[in-house]
Amino acid sequence: MTASTSPTNRELLLSEEEIHSAAQRLGEILAGYEASLSKRPVFPTLDRRLLREILEEPLPEQGRPFSELFDEFEERILPNSTQVAHPRFLAYVLASPHGLAPFAEALGAALNQGCALWALSPAANAIEQKVIAWLAELFGFPKGTTGLLTSGGSTANLTASMAATRGSTVTAPTGVANSVPRSR
């Protein structure tokens, strides 16, 4: 993409009308998905030709309207996706999504907070601290227990491994201290 063909900042922004239209369509897709979930097969009959087309699709040179992207999601992506939110999905160790989750994700994505520094996301950091305090209370840990939220199991395991190899002390709710020996 050259400077003469690159989009202007305005071309990358959505008008208020486009935002409302996309939000309405997304709401319809989410409501339809939630309503049809129990009728869908947990594991779909895959359209391997279509999946191959997706894999071989070249980098687009032009943008596409939201309506086309939503159509593609409904026609190509959804029918070829495992329905982990299905009431009969019992495989693996995945948390089933809640109907509220897509809306919460949308709000989080709109703000795009980086919690690495308090100055970048003071409200998100306050929420993280409150959630940690609630979890500590729920599981009987003492007041003042600290922690952090991670993006998933791999990051959580890596964080725990790093803490363990550095000789962290963990106090269990029963009051028994479990010291992890330093390994060098």
Helix (H), strand (E), coil (C) string for the chain: CCCCCCCCHHHHCCCHHHHHHHHHHHHHHHHHHHHHHHHCCCCCCCCHHHHHHHHHCCCCCCCCCHHHHHHHHHHHHHHHCCCCCCCCCCCCCCCCCCCCHHHHHHHHHHHCCCCCCHHHCHHHHHHHHHHHHHHHHHCCCCCCCCCCCCCCHHHHHHHHHHHHHCCCEEECCCCCEEECCCCC
Are residues 25 and 69 in contact, defined by beta-carbon separation less than 8 angstroms? no
Q: What is the pLDDT of residue 177?
A: 46
What would the pLDDT profile of 88-118 be if each residue is shown by its tens digit? 887 776 666 777 888 888 888 888 887 777 8
Q: Which of 1-10, 54-63, 144-153, 157-166 has the highest mean pLDDT?
A: 54-63
Tell me the pLDDT band of 7, cut-offs 50, 70 and 90: low
The model's pLDDT over 114-136, given as tens digits with 9 standing for 90+, comes to 777 788 889 988 999 999 999 99
CATH topology of domain 9-110: Aspartate Aminotransferase, domain 1 (3.90.1150)
What are the residue ranges spanned by the domains of the chain?
9-110, 114-179
Whether the full predicted model's pTM is greater than 0.95, yes or no, is no
Cα-based distances in Å from 142 to 129, 132, 137, 139, 175: 14, 12, 7, 9, 9
Q: Report CA-CA distances (Å) from 106 to 23, 103, 109, 183.
A: 10, 5, 5, 42
Which of 80-89, 108-117, 160-169 is most confident? 80-89
More confident of the two residues 138 and 101: 138
Q: Is the pLDDT of residue 76 over 90?
A: yes
